[in-house]
Structure 1
Amino acid sequence: MFQHLPAVVVLLTVLLQCGTAYAVGRARALYGVKAPATSGHPLFERAFRVQMNTLESTLMFLPALWLAATYSAPLWSGIAGLVWVLGRVWYAVGYLRDPARREGGFIVAAVGLLAVLGMGAIGLGKALLLG
């Protein structure tokens, strides 16, 4: 069961990406920001920044999660991954409401990212040293 937790985290990450893309599309329609524009109404710009910031973080998170799940403990990797997902959701909701409220979610997500990165790096290092 626990070996599948990282895969659940990947699915949740994909759903998070879908949610941020939906928020941008909805904001485009609500505020009349026609593609390919990436600026316009401030609430659209918030949604767009949430999507881009989450995408940028995901590009670091997923490989780190894979390394941690492969070279460390899948259970702990999955738990750290859940921390990242919950942090990113908190970040997104906070940023959409008020950009000043994004820090808490950012910090929680950063802790999750650093945890999977650390587990992956240590696990891979051990595997390389021990052959």
Structure 2
Amino acid sequence: MHGVREEVAMLAAVTLFGVLLQAYFSWQVITARRRFRVAPPATTGPPEFERVFRAQANCTEYFPLFLAVLWVAGIFFHQGVAAACGLLYLGARYRYFHGYAVSAQGRLGPLYFGARVLWLLVALSALGLAFHFLPASLKTPLLRRLQWLVVMG
């Protein structure tokens, strides 16, 4: 069992960090509700509250997609690369949240960066799965060719 844990430890750490970040975003909504006197279940109020609320909602909407491609890329492509991408994505989401809380325009740069990282995780997942399902007769020549490119490049 120890070997399996090592194979996913970085993914688990990034996942836990992501869960804690989601909790932080939720806490920010609770704080904004108190500051701007917006009682649940209301989701509208001053623009300052609505931006915090929408930032948290958007981060929550994308979190399952992020987790899925993080784990697929980590298991089928490379754990370290996926974990690094995961940290970049979560950093972008943190900047997105705080940028959006200040102004709607403040979310755009981090939003676009995070989207590119998310698409990269999708691509790594697809590549890893495609390679996994390749017949062994094709994997060996492909690996040799890639190794040659790395050595010569």
> Per the shorter chain, which TM-score range?
over 0.9
How far apart, CA to CA, are the structure 1 residues paired with 2:63 and 2:12?
Answer: 14
Q: Superposed, which structure 2 residues align to 1:1-131 within 5 Å? A: 3-130=8-135
Larger RCO: Structure 1 or Structure 2 (Cα < 8 Å, ≥ 6 residues apart)? Answer: 1
Identity between Structure 1 and Structure 2 (%): 33
Q: Say if 1:2 and 1:75, in contact at 8 Å, map to a contact too.
A: no
TM-score with structure 2 setting the length = 0.80
**Number of residue pairs the alignment of both structures matches:** 131
Gaps of at least 5 residues in structure 1 are none
SS in 2 for 1:4: helix
Q: Say if 1:3 and 1:75, in contact at 8 Å, map to a contact too.
A: no
Q: Give, in angstroms, the shift of residue 5 of structure 1.
A: 2.1
How far apart, CA to CA, are the structure 1 residues paired with 2:89 and 2:7?
Answer: 17
Q: Give, in angstroms, the shift of residue 67 of structure 1.
A: 0.4
Amino acid at match of 1:120: S
Q: Say if 2:92 and 2:113, in contact at 8 Å, map to a contact too.
A: yes
Q: Give, in angstroms, the shift of residue 89 of structure 1.
A: 0.6
Structure 1 or 2, whichever has the larger Rg, is 2
Q: Give, in angstroms, the shift of residue 108 of structure 1.
A: 1.7
Q: CA RMSD in A?
A: 1.5
Gaps of at least 5 residues in structure 2 are 1-5, 137-153
